[in-house]
Homo-oligomer: A and B are copies of this chain.
Amino acid sequence: MKKPGKRAGEPSRAGNDRSTGQTTRYHHGDLSGALLSAARFILDRDGVSALGLRPVTRAAGVSHTAAAHHFGDLAGLLSELAATGLDELRAAIISAAGTPRLIAEAYVFYALRHPHMFELMFRSDLIDRTSPRYRNAASALFAMLAGSPEVSDHDGQKETDGYDSQDAARYTAAWGLVHGIAVLATDGRLDPLISRLREPMSREDLVRQAILSVPPFL
């Protein structure tokens, strides 16, 4: 019943590879990396909904179950991909470091430059937030936005009581503001408003003005 088949071909080569003249071996060498870059390519081009297990593995030239060994399941793969996005966002914020206003702009503009990645980063239904890779990237990013809770020095041993209520409230408001603007802008929710503007304005200009219109960011 089982055909060992494998139509006649070079015995030491496995998959037919596309575009490159490289001979694809049975063991890919760096399949997880290849899958991640294939996924990134598809994400940027076709959006989150195109990030299937089969499309991605097909683009990498392997069978659709090949990813399981490296990432467990689709959510595992997407979690790592999303984590790289969180790292990119954090890097963008760091390089724009300075005033809160610049940080806010960096957050929103990253989303505008990478709308699909930004969407993926917060699609909790697609990713596994408990994945270590994602957890670390997420807490690193949000620690940068909020700062760490103050540490009190008790007899030389440092310990923290956690965030102050007012700080937490301000942090929530700030994050909510930039995140909300980013979500609305990347989802095209502001376009009806933009099209009814007295004098024309780009998305970028509108969100910049919006950030500037909030007193703490002035």
Contacts and interface: CB of A to CB of B under 8 A. Distances in A.
A137 interface: no
Interface stretch (A17-25, A55-63, A174-182): A174-182
Q: A171, A173, A184, A206 — which one has the most chain B CB atoms within 10 A of its CB?
A: A173
Given A187-B124, A192-B142, A162 B214 contact: no
Contact of A163 (B124, B165, B193, B215): B193
Interface in A148-178: 149, 161-166, 168-173, 175-178
B198 A164 contact: yes
A165 B214 contact: no
Interface size class of A (residues with CB under 8 A): 35 or more
Interface in A28-86: 47-49
Given A176-B177, A193-B172, A214 B213 contact: no
Nearest to A124: B187
